[in-house]
């Protein structure tokens, strides 16, 4: 591959690779554009709502092995899923034997560290699917090869289930530009410097795609999924929401943090750092333009480009008379929360009170009790308590900071839906405006805000 050639990275998710029919569709997409040189793949996803993802079959297999139970049936379930794919693709029995041997070796892997054992077990879906897709392309006369992340030098921190890419990986990955043909790269995992397989957190294949795109300095990172584009609101809540044609990294990150399901909010960081444009496209409708995610917005037709919401938050409410005059109060308050290993989301505050918004998944009854006790005793607070059932709803748009009256319009829209606002917080970047409301009112809030900011069916650019 020459230095001057355009080179794109395309990532295909589990729904795009769920069966042989989908893989054939993906192969057509790959070969339709000669710029698509490196393909990052997920494990086969669900073929229907009632189906089971291959990754979930592998987790069941791994847990069965860890429990010391007979793994024959659980192993066969995975093999049969791959058999249905390889046979319909017309691949030889050799491919299935390679997969079966690989799965057995993983089951026989040392159980000394259950976390590490499950990591290498879960990664079998992506790894073997990459071999299948490379094999299928070869059978169609396409010059292609499977690339193992270890061979490519994708090195990560040795933190099972939460790998972080090591900086030297980018230089290693750049050398992939010298390879001929189409390279099929499994998503979701890398290797520690000691050669141990380690997986990324949720959204792992998206993270791999972003890292590889950054490493080879791609002209474009295409992320193929099962939707035509990113929408301005959840289509399950708002009927036929407008499509977002162009958005910035900051807008995407704010939306994904606040519950957008397209990307995990950390997935795009490597591409963002190298200013690589990202395009979200639909495997089942590849001719649509999709949503382009770029570094800087050239212009905005609408100050708000999207509305997102997420449930499962709590408010830690702290009141103390003359709190604002007490030097270091905020630092000591956050130190107490930090001591429990908990990160915070927002801290709106007044003169005599402050609220800390926390993710419920980090809280335990014991931690809550300890936090309340320490704040009461050490900070001599007048009142401390947790309030559950909070949802965060977020308006996002780079154009908001240049537009007068966004907050007024939003609060009016929520008032008209008879929704009480528990908390308001505007990000310092002014790209987002967050509201805390009761969880049960989320859908009404999304509809109300959508009606206010997207009442015309104008497609965003």
Which residues sit in the known binding site for substrate?
55, 126
CA atoms of 386 and 356, how far apart (whole Å): 9
- Residues whose CB falls within 8 Å of the CB of residue 26, separated by 6 or more in sequence, listed in order: 12, 16, 17, 133, 224, 283
The DSSP annotation for 111-172 comes to: -SSHHHHHHHHHTHHHHHHHHHHHHHHHHTT--EEE--HHHHT-BB-S-TTS--B-THHHHH
CB 201 within 8 A of CB 274: no
CA atoms of 43 and 14, how far apart (whole Å): 5
Closest CA to 392 of 458, 429, 340, 348: 348
CA atoms of 136 and 27, how far apart (whole Å): 8
CA atoms of 313 and 345, how far apart (whole Å): 9
What's the N-to-C CA distance of the chain in angstroms?
34
Question: Can you read off the two tokens belonging to residue 297?
Answer: 């917005």
- Give backbone dihedrals phi and psi of 203, rounded to 5 degrees, phi first: 75, 20
CA atoms of 21 and 423, how far apart (whole Å): 48
Strands 344-346 and 278-282: unpaired
Closest CA to 420 of 434, 406, 431, 435: 435
Q: How far is CA 320 from CA 255, 340, 379, in A?
A: 34, 22, 9
Question: Can you read off the two tokens belonging to residue 249?
Answer: 């990294």
- CB burial readout 308-324, b (16+ within 10 A) else e: bbbeebbbbebebeebe
What residues are designated binding site for ATP?
Answer: 11-14, 225-226
What residues are designated binding site?
Answer: 11-14, 55, 126, 225-226
The DSSP annotation for 162-223 comes to: S--B-THHHHHHHGGGGS-SEEEEE-SEEE-TTS-EEE-STTHHHHHHHHHHHHTT-SEEEE
Beta bridge partners of 357: 315, 346
């Amino acid at each position: 591959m020459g230095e001057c050639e355009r080179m794109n990275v395309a990532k295909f998710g589990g729904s795009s690779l769920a069966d042989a029919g989908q893989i054939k569709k993906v192969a057509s997409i790959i070969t339709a554009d000669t710029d698509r040189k490196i393909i990052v793949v997920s494990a086969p996803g669900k073929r229907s709502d009632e189906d089971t993802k291959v990754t979930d079959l592998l987790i069941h297999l791994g847990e069965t092995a860890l429990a010391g139970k007979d793994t024959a049936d659980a192993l066969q379930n995975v093999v049969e899923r791959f058999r249905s794919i390889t046979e319909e693709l017309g691949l030889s029995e050799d491919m299935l034997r390679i997969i079966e041997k690989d799965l057995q070796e993983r089951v026989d892997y040392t159980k000394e560290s259950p976390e590490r054992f499950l990591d290498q077990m879960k990664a079998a879906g992506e790894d073997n699917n990459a071999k299948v897709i490379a094999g299928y392309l070869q059978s169609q006369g396409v010059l292609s090869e499977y690339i193992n992340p270890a061979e490519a030098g994708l090195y990560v921190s040795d933190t099972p289930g939460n790998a972080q890419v090591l900086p030297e990986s980018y230089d290693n990955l750049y050398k992939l530009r010298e390879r001929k043909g189409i390279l099929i790269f499994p998503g979701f995992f890398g290797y520690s410097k000691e050669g141990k397989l380690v997986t990324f957190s949720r959204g792992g294949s998206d993270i791999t795609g972003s890292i590889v795109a950054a490493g080879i300095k791609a002209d474009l990172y295409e992320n193929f999924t099962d939707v035509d584009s990113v929408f301005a609101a959840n289509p399950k809540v708002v009927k036929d929401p407008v499509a977002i044609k162009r958005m910035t990294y900051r807008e995407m990150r704010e939306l994904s943090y606040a519950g957008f399901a397209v990307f995990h909010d950390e997935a795009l960081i490597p591409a963002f750092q190298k200013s690589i444009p990202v395009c979200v496209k639909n495997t089942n409708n590849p001719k649509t333009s999709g949503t382009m995610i770029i570094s800087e917005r050239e212009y905005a037709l609408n100050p708000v480009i999207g509305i997102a919401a997420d449930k499962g938050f709590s408010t830690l409410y702290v009141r103390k008379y003359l709190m604002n005059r007490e030097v270091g109060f905020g630092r000591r308050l956050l130190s107490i929360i930090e001591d429990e290993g908990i990160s915070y989301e927002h801290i709106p505050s007044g003169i005599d009170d402050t609220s800390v918004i926390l993710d419920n998944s980090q809280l335990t009854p014991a931690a809550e009790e300890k936090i309340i006790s320490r704040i009461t005793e050490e900070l001599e607070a007048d009142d401390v308590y947790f309030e559950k059932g909070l949802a965060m709803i977020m308006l996002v748009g780079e154009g908001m900071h240049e537009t007068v009256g966004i907050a007024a319009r939003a609060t009016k829209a929520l008032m008209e839906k008879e929704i009480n606002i528990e908390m308001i917080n505007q990000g310092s970047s002014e790209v987002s405006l967050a509201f805390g409301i009761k969880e049960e009112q989320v859908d009404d809030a999304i509809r109300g805000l959508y009606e206010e900011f997207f009442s015309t069916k104008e497609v965003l650019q």
